[in-house]
Amino acid sequence: MNDIVISVRDLTKRFGDFTAVDHISFDVRRGEIFGFLGANGAGKTTAMRMLCGLSYPTSGSGTVAGFDVRTEGELIKRHIGYMSQRFSLYNDLTVWENMRLFAGIYGLTAKQTNERATELLERLNFSSERNTLVGSLPLGWKQKLSFVIATIHRPDVVFLDEPTGGVDPVTRRQFWEMIYEAAENGTTIFVTTHYMDEAEYCTRASIMVDGKVCALDTPARLKQQFAAESMDEVFRTLARGAQRGE
Please state the closest distance from residue 58 (CB atom) to another protein, in A. 22
- Under 8 Å between Cβ of 96 and 131: yes
Report the distance separating Cα 37 and Cα 106, nearest Å: 27
Q: Quick one: 97 or 200, whose CB is closer to another protein?
A: 200
Among 27, 68, 72, 197, binds another protein (CB under 8 A): 197
Please state the closest distance from residue 122 (CB atom) to another protein, in A. 20
The residue range among 61-69, 75-83, 125-133, 170-178 that interacts with another protein, by the rule CB under 8 A, is 170-178
> What are the DSSP calls for 100-165, one per residue?
HHHHHHTT--HHHHHHHHHHHHHHTT-GGGTTSBGGGS-HHHHHHHHHHHHTTT--SEEEEESTTT
122 binds another protein (CB under 8 A): no
Among 4, 10, 15, 40, binds another protein (CB under 8 A): 40
Please state the closest distance from residue 70 (CB atom) to another protein, in A. 29
Q: Quick one: 110 or 139, whose CB is closer to another protein?
A: 139
Cα-only R_g, the chain = 18
Name every residue whose Cβ is closer than 8 Å to that of residue 85 and which is 6 or more positions away in sequence.
161, 162, 163, 164, 165, 166, 167
How crowded is residue 107: how many other Cβ atoms within 10 Å of its Cβ?
A: 11
176 binds another protein (CB under 8 A): yes
Beta bridge partners of 163: none
Please state the closest distance from residue 208 (CB atom) to another protein, in A. 11
Binding-site ranges for another protein (CB under 8 A)? 38-41, 139, 162, 165-171, 173, 176-177, 180-181, 184, 194-197, 200-201, 219-220, 230-232, 235-236, 239-240, 242, 245-246
